[in-house]
């Protein structure tokens, strides 16, 4: 009997390009021997709900969309005790998670991997009672991904994010933050940015994370940026970011499996590029190898 595949598509993600290649993707799944059921998401959270309700009836889930759609599908999958393998066709604007996993941008190539690739386990982040696939962040530019209008994203792609980021520069503010990590590290400082990630690409840039990122080691990469005092400091921060190593004047980096973050005031978070709510205190923990995802052979840098 054929295996059953549920194909979830967000038709509005990215430039809507998936609309032109959806049929080709389905053809690849059928040729690989799957019986395919297609579901197009109708509204936010639809993907989570359909996965919670129906995933147990399928052998494989494949989703096509941006990081927001992926986050919704993963959140649904984590409600199931069985690890149902997930294929991912990146169809958003930046697609950091896919690029970290080496999943190609071309929908038909990604569909081929979703159908016939190898299953890899990757860590998933837990932020209070929510999940994130590759990033939880606060401060400078983090609102850019969810405040950039969809029409602008569709028209300009990554450039839209950069334009919105430049617009937000004059409004940057520092937060007084205290952080405790599972490794016993403790820090209290004025920070303009904080990022807890499990990816090699952030916002389309490969330089922001260390070179030794493992997506299945139970550890996050943490990057914190101290408050600059004058415009020249921005150049220093930029240079330090591009060096991708160690601590420096404005940058603090570490790895941790669990963190508690406290601030004097409510701070807004982004989870996988979508608004993650505001809070003064949050615990972020690593859900070790919680997701089974299809990748091309030897793409996840494994600790095994
Ligand atoms: N039919 C729909 N109408 C409106 N919004 C939808 C619909 N289906 C899904 N959504 C919402 O669209 C949000 C954004 O989608 P997604 O992040 O996948 O695309 P994107 O914003 O273009 O990509 P990226 O965030 O990678 O740039 C998702 O969080 C989801 O809740």
CA of 66, closest atom in ligand 1: 18
Containing structural domain, residue 57:
3-116
- Residue 304 inside a domain? The answer is no
CA 151 to ligand 1 centroid distance, Å: 12
pTM comes to 0.86
Indicate whether 74 and 147 sit together in one domain: no
Q: How many domains does the chain have?
A: 2
pLDDT over threshold 60, residue 262: yes
Our answer on whether the CB atom of 94 is closer than 6 Å to any ligand 1 atom is yes
Indicate whether 265 and 139 sit together in one domain: yes
Q: Residue 13's domain is classified under what CATH number? A: 3.40.50.10330
CA 46 to ligand 1 centroid distance, Å: 10
CA 102 to ligand 1 centroid distance, Å: 22
- Residue 124 inside a domain? The answer is no
Which of 91, 116, 141 represents a domain boundary (last residue)?
116
Q: What is the pLDDT of residues 38-47, one digit of tens each?
A: 999 999 999 9
Q: What is the DSSP string of 153-165?
A: HHHHTHHHHHHHH
CA 38 to ligand 1 centroid distance, Å: 17
Indicate whether 40 and 161 sit together in one domain: no
pLDDT over threshold 70, residue 142: no
Indicate whether 177 and 110 sit together in one domain: no
CA of 42, closest atom in ligand 1: 1
Indicate whether 207 and 260 sit together in one domain: yes
Q: What is the DSSP string of 167-207?
A: HHGGG---EEEEEEETTS-EEEEEEEEEEEE--S-BTTBSS
Q: How confident is the model at residue 133 (pLDDT cuts 50, 70, 90)?
A: very high
Q: What is the pLDDT of residues 79-89, one digit of tens each?
A: 999 999 999 99
Query: What is the value of ipTM here, to two decimals?
Result: 0.95
Indicate whether 82 and 138 sit together in one domain: no
Indicate whether 23 and 98 sit together in one domain: yes
Secondary structure letter of residue 79 according to DSSP: T
Q: Residue 202's domain is classified under what CATH number? A: 2.60.200.40
């Amino acid at each position: 009997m054929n295996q059953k595949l549920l194909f979830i598509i967000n038709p509005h993600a990215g430039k809507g390009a998936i609309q032109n290649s959806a049929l080709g993707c389905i053809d690849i799944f059928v040729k690989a021997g799957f019986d395919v059921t297609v579901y197009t998401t109708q509204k936010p959270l639809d993907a989570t709900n359909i996965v919670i309700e129906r995933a147990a009836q399928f052998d494989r889930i494949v989703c096509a969309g941006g990081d927001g759609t992926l986050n919704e599908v993963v959140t649904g999958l984590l409600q199931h005790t069985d690890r149902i393998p997930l294929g991912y066709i990146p169809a958003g604007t930046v697609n950091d998670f896919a690029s970290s996993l080496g999943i190609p941008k071309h929908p038909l190539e990604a569909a081929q991997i979703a159908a016939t690739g190898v299953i890899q386990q990757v860590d998933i982040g837990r932020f209070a009672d929510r999940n994130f696939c590759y990033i939880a962040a606060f401060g400078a530019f983090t609102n850019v991904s969810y405040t950039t209008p969809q029409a602008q994203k569709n028209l300009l792609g990554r450039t839209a994010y950069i334009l919105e980021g430049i617009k937000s520069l004059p409004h940057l503010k520092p937060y007084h933050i205290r952080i405790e990590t599972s490794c016993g590290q403790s820090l209290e400082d004025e920070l303009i940015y904080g990022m807890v990630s499990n990816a090699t690409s952030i916002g389309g840039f490969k330089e922001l994370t260390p070179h030794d990122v493992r997506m299945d080691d139970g550890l996050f990469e943490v990057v914190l940026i101290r408050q600059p005092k004058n415009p020249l400091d921005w150049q220093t921060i930029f240079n330090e970011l591009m060096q991708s190593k160690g601590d420096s004047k404005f940058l603090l980096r570490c790895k941790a499996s669990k963190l508690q973050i406290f601030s004097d005031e409510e701070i807004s978070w982004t989870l996988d590029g979508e608004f993650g709510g505001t809070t003064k205190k949050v615990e972020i923990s690593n859900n070790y190898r919680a997701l089974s995802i299809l990748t091309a052979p030897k793409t996840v840098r494994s600790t095994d």
